[in-house]
Amino acid sequence: MRRVIVIAGHYGSGKTELAVSLAMRLSAQQDLEYPRLAVVDLDIANPYFRSRERMQLLREHGVSMYADVFQSTGTTAELPALTAALRAPLEDEGCRTIIDLGGNDAGARVLRQFRKYFEGDAHELWAVVNFRRYETLTVEKAREHVEAIAAELQLPVNGLVNNTHLLRETTPDILREGQALAEQLSADMDIPLLYTCYPAGIIRPEDIPDLPRLMPLGLYMRPAYLDK
């Protein structure tokens, strides 16, 4: 895992949930190489869930949050006004940085203004795919989205993350179906499949012992009222 992790994908793929869950996971580990940890919220194009909504939680766990000029989770949270301060973690070689991009190639476009920070090999670009979303129901559709994001950013995709789920209706079979499609996408695009995510508290690792490279995701971004 490189110092800067850029998380991209289609709308509703679970990018933000992955960004927050990964930050929470890394915050519990001692990292002598990267003693500081930050999340940069660049999801400013038609945002649905924003990682900044968990700003307080992340800060309580030692994770710095960089977002708009107001650093707001309230009425100004949807203004597409970025702060120059978010360059700080990109320039800090002792800070592992997770970048939460907007959905699809249009949402990812905002990263291009920070192009100079992605000319070396200190970063990696992850493409998140949920094969239970309408826009990426098939390998062909998912490939179109991944290729469009890579073309927009003019950066190679270093790894795929399979995040196939139906929230609280997720079953082990749904995860296995997503795994098969993700492996096919990985082979077709010659991009490694880094992780298969599962909703912690709904699916247990022992329910899917046949699936490799598992990564648990919390439900940090899902409002409780949606389950009522």
pLDDT, tens only, 78-88: 545 566 788 99
Q: 8-31, pLDDT tens digit by residue?
A: 999 889 888 999 999 999 999 989
Is the pLDDT at 221 greater than 50? The verdict is yes
User: How high is the pLDDT of residue 76?
Assistant: 44
User: How high is the pLDDT of residue 44?
Assistant: 73
User: How high is the pLDDT of residue 75?
Assistant: 43
* Over residues 141-168, mean pLDDT: 94
**Domain around 185:** 4-227
| pTM summary value | 0.88
User: How high is the pLDDT of residue 178?
Assistant: 97
The DSSP code sequence of the chain is --SEEEEEESTTSSHHHHHHHHHHHHHTS--SS--EEEEEEE--SS-SS-GGGGHHHHHHTTEEEE-BTT--SSTTTT---B-GGGHHHHH-TTEEEEEEEEEHHHHHGGGGGGGGGGSSSSEEEEEEE-TTSGGGSSHHHHHHHHHHHHHHHT----EEEE----GGG--HHHHHHHHHHHHHHHHHHT--EEEEEEEBTTB-GGG-TTS-SEEEE--TTS-GGGG-
Q: Report how many domains make up the chain.
A: 1
Choose between 115 and 186: higher pLDDT: 186
User: How high is the pLDDT of residue 97?
Assistant: 97
Is the pLDDT at 122 greater than 50? The verdict is yes
User: How high is the pLDDT of residue 227?
Assistant: 46
CATH code of residue 113: 3.40.50.300
User: How high is the pLDDT of residue 226?
Assistant: 44
Q: 161-191, pLDDT tens digit by residue?
A: 999 999 889 999 999 999 999 999 999 999 9
